[in-house]
Structure 1
Amino acid sequence: MSSALTAFAAVFPAELPDKTMFATIVLTTRYRRPLAVWVGSAAAFAMHVTIAVAAGGLLAKLPDRVVNVVVFFMFAAGSAFLLREALSGRDEEEHDLGATGDTSAKAAALAAFAMIGLAELGDLTQLTTASLAARTGDPFGVALGAFAALLAVSGLAATFGSKLTERFSLDKLNYVGAAVFAGFALWTLLDII
């Protein structure tokens, strides 16, 4: 269970200011079918978590020291990326795709699956999930925690969308994510030493 909590704690703050949250908001606005968009997003996230824990399982077959060094650099890079985004002070661009409320739920779900599926390939949270699966040796727990975090963020985006981005500064969310990743990098570095 601790692997699931660790994965949730790492993935949730990293995904909040991410492009996939904004894609979910845009798709929900465009199709006006939040449940369908969320289902499509969830299917894409399930695919990505499965790929990530499989990659992490392969990485876990390497010697512990090698795994810890790789994981340390992945978390350090994630922290640096999020910190750079926070310091840049620029918000994600929102695109006005126009509202098309007459679209079917199936079309909305397929659009969400395609958009999120492509956007998440090699994404920071996918790499984080792979790293945690390798580090903990508990791919099921990591998959559960990462998937729960991704479902929570996409659910928030589909349900509250624009209200969420008005209330919380993306820069602050990036700082929180950077701090979480720095903490995981430090934790891994201490294991290396």
Structure 2
Amino acid sequence: MEALLVSTGIVALAEIGDKTQLLAFVLAARFRRPWPIVAGILVATLVNHGLAGALGAWLTSLAGPQVMRWVLGLSFLAMAAWTLVPDKLDDADARVSRHGVFATTLVAFFLAEMGDKTQIATVALAARFEAFWPVVAGTTLGMMIANVPAVFLGDRLAGRIPVRVVHGIAALIFAVLGVATLLGAGSRFGF
């Protein structure tokens, strides 16, 4: 349960102001068909974070507990710093295909998430908690919590969320996880 809740909270906070949330705004404004956009976000996130979670689980099997403790602790601290850097939507992320709203959203979100904060966080969380399904479910839920309102409320919501404060909270959570991991809080998980 801890893996699910931590994963959901971290990703929901980290996603606010992220380029994929900006992409959700753009797609919602362009297509004005929220349900296929939401479905595309869900499928893209499940696939992307499923792969990231599998990578995290695989990395755990390769390295010893002490190495994993340091790698994960430093990764969480790096994520804390990265979360403070606001994202910008690339023109390439917002391009529309001729294959419809769902396919456009699916491809755009999957590609936008490659190497993104939330994908890297999913790798680290899956390695940290050694709980593939709860982490993937949590990070996916976090993405949906942040992006579904963006799809339905569009630009009206963007100006009312104190993105800087939310990013600060997410960075603090990543930093606490990083320090706790370095100090051995993950010892019950084997690192």
TM-score of the aligned structures, taking structure 1 as reference length: 0.86
1:110 and 1:186 mapped to 2: Cα distance?
40
**Residue correspondence of structure 1 range 75-154 to structure 2 within 5 A:** 75-85=76-86, 92=88, 107-154=100-147
Q: Which amino acid aligns with 1:187?
A: A
In the TM superposition, what is the alpha-carbon distance from 1:179 to its structure 2 partner?
Answer: 1.2
Deviations 1:72-130 (A, max 9, x none): 12111111112244xxxxx84698xxxx9xx99x7111111111111100111111111
Q: Which amino acid aligns with 1:17?
A: G
Root-mean-square deviation over aligned CA pairs: 2.3
- List runs of 5+ in structure 2 lacking aligned partners: none
Aligned to 1:190: 183
In the TM superposition, what is the alpha-carbon distance from 1:173 to its structure 2 partner?
Answer: 2.1
Q: Which amino acid aligns with 1:28?
A: A
Report the more deviating stretch, 46-55 or 60-69.
Answer: 60-69
Aligned to 2:70: 69
SS of the equivalent of 2:159 reads helix
- List runs of 5+ in structure 1 lacking aligned partners: 86-90
Contact 1:71–1:131 under 8 Å retained in 2: yes
Identity of matched residues, %: 28
Aligned length: 181
In the TM superposition, what is the alpha-carbon distance from 1:34 to its structure 2 partner?
Answer: 0.9
Q: Where do 4+ consecutive residues of structure 1 move more than 4 Å?
A: 91-95
Report the more deviating stretch, 19-28 or 64-73.
Answer: 64-73
In the TM superposition, what is the alpha-carbon distance from 1:41 to its structure 2 partner?
Answer: 1.1
1:65 and 1:19 mapped to 2: Cα distance?
34
1:92 and 1:156 mapped to 2: Cα distance?
19
Pair 1:56 & 2:49 matched: no
SS of the equivalent of 1:25 reads helix
**Residue correspondence of structure 1 range 149-188 to structure 2 within 5 A:** 149-188=142-181
Contact 1:22–1:94 under 8 Å retained in 2: no
In the TM superposition, what is the alpha-carbon distance from 1:161 to its structure 2 partner?
Answer: 2.1
Aligned to 1:88: none
SS of the equivalent of 1:167 reads coil
TM-score of the aligned structures, taking structure 2 as reference length: 0.86
2:170 and 2:88 mapped to 1: Cα distance?
16
Distance 1:52 1:94, change over 3 A: closer
Q: Which amino acid aligns with 1:80?
A: A
Contact 2:150–2:157 under 8 Å retained in 1: yes
Q: Which amino acid aligns with 2:135?
A: V
